[in-house]
């Protein structure tokens, strides 16, 4: 009975090539900013279908390197930047990908953050370049929210006509305050170790943080999440069933309730996607 119970639960432990076998398994790599919202749905799928779901949460480029360098192939991969798929994964690792959710960049903070009663959408860059303010950001080498933050800095410098603004914003979010992904930054902000973080709106709302929404003109490309079943997925049939469940109307409604901005219909790129994604409705 104990072993049976364990097999029905979605586990959050290392996954990849060689960690699971059999047709009743799905291995999922998930962008950290999506994990808390999606985990209950993976649990639900596991219980209802009698399968084991092994998940691994992390920064999107960490997941890419697991596939391309370590050759750890999941059954389903969900990343925080749709552009990663054509740049790094197609065609050798994925023949298709589908945009399924959106997000927006924010500056998140709490009531105890320094200058919490001063910050607004017109002066945020002054507050966050002020000495004595602890600001966190994600690693731009591995996390989409990290390199989007640097783009935000550069475009803010142009918008506000301050040549050195990007440099000052980087300096006031030093290496000691850089973390690998959006979820780790949220943990530090909640603990009071940081005053402000550059993060996603969905994370801020889920954590009940206060936040300032960044103007579209200084955030670069839209924040778009995409997913795919890799070419050599070990359990493709189970992956398709899981994907159909995650993109079903009931699941989308629940995910929207957890602040994931699911699109009405995924936009598919490439060839070879499951027929339920490509057929007209």
**Structure confidence at residue 274 (pLDDT):** 96
Residues 63-119 pLDDT 10s: 999 999 999 999 999 999 999 999 999 999 999 999 999 999 999 999 999 999 999
pLDDT computed for residue 217 by the predictor = 87
Q: What pLDDT does residue 17 have? A: 41
Q: Domains in the chain: how many in total?
A: 2
207 and 125 housed in the same domain: yes
Q: Which region among 3-12, 27-36, 184-193 has the lowest average model confidence (pLDDT)?
A: 3-12
Residue 217 CB burial class (10 angstroms; 0-12, 13-18, ≥19): exposed
Query: Do 98 and 118 belong together in one domain?
Result: no
Query: Residue 249 belongs to what domain range?
Result: 2-102+224-278
Q: Tell me the β-bridge partners of 107.
A: 198, 212
Domain end position, chosen among 167, 193, 218: 218
Residues 187 and 249 placed together within one structural domain of the fold:
no
114-163 confidence digits (pLDDT tens): 999 999 999 999 999 999 999 999 999 999 999 999 999 999 999 999 99
Q: Say yes or no: 95 and 122 in one domain.
A: no
Residue 190 buriedness (CB in 10 A; 0-12 / 13-18 / 19+): middle
Q: Domain containing 109 — which CATH number?
A: 3.40.190.10
Judge whether residue 5 has pLDDT over 50: no
The domain boundary, picked from 192, 218, 244, lies at 218
Residues 130, 156 share a domain: yes
Task: Kindly state whether residues 214 and 132 are assigned to the same domain.
Answer: yes
Res. 279 pLDDT band, cuts 50 70 90: confident
Pair of tokens at residue 97: 């990908």
218, 240, 270 - which closes a domain:
218
pLDDT at 16: 42
Model pTM score: 0.89
Q: In which residue are the tokens 């530090």 written?
A: 188
pLDDT greater than 70 at residue 258: yes
Question: Which of 5-9, 188-192, 275-279 has the lowest average pLDDT?
Answer: 5-9
* Band of pLDDT at residue 10, cut at 50, 70 and 90: very low
The answer to whether residue 254 scores a pLDDT higher than 70 is yes
Interhelix angle 182-190/32-49, rounded to 10 degrees, is 100
pLDDT band at 22 (very low <50, low <70, confident <90, very high): very low
Residues 158 and 60 in one domain: no
pLDDT computed for residue 220 by the predictor: 82
| Percent of the chain's residues with pLDDT above 70 | 91
Cβ neighbourhood burial of 106 (10 Å; 0-12, 13-18, 19+): buried
Band (pLDDT 50/70/90 cuts) for residue 24 is confident
Task: Say if residue 65 is in the same domain as residue 142.
Answer: no
> To 10 degrees, what angle do helices 249-257 and 32-49 make?
140
pLDDT at residue 23 above 60?
no
Domain match, 154 and 169 both = yes
Same domain for 96 and 229?
yes
14/76 same-domain check = yes
**Residues 9, 53 within the same domain:** yes
pLDDT, tens digit, for every residue of 162-199?
Answer: 999 999 999 999 999 999 998 999 999 999 999 999 99
């Amino acid at each position: 009975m104990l072993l049976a119970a364990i097999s029905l639960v979605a586990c959050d432990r290392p996954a990849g090539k060689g960690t699971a076998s059999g047709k009743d398994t799905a291995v999922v790599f998930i962008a950290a900013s999506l994990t808390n919202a999606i985990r209950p749905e993976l649990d639900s799928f596991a219980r209802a279908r009698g399968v084991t779901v092994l998940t691994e949460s992390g920064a999107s480029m960490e997941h890419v390197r697991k596939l391309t360098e370590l050759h750890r192939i999941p059954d389903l991969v969900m990343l925080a930047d749709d552009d990663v798929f054509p740049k790094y994964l197609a065609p050798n690792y994925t023949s298709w990908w589908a945009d399924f959710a959106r997000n927006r960049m924010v500056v998140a903070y709490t009531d105890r953050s320094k200058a919490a009663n001063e910050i607004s959408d017109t002066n945020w860059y002054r507050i966050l370049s002020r000495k004595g303010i602890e600001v966190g950001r994600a690693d731009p080498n591995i996390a989409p929210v990290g390199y989007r933050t640097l783009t935000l800095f550069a475009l803010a410098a142009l918008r506000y006509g301050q040549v050195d603004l990007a440099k000052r914003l980087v300096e006031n979010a030093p290496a000691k305050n850089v973390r690998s992904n959006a979820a780790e930054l949220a943990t530090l902000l909640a603990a009071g170790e940081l005053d402000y973080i550059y993060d996603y709106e969905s994370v801020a709302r889920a954590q009940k943080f206060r936040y300032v929404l960044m103007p579209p003109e200084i955030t670069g490309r839209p924040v778009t999440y995409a997913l795919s079943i890799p070419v050599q997925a070990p359990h493709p049939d189970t992956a398709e069933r899981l994907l159909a469940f995650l993109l079903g109307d009931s699941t989308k409604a629940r995910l929207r309730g957890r602040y994931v901005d699911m699109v009405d219909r995924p936009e598919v790129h490439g060839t070879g996607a499951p027929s339920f994604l490509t057929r007209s409705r």
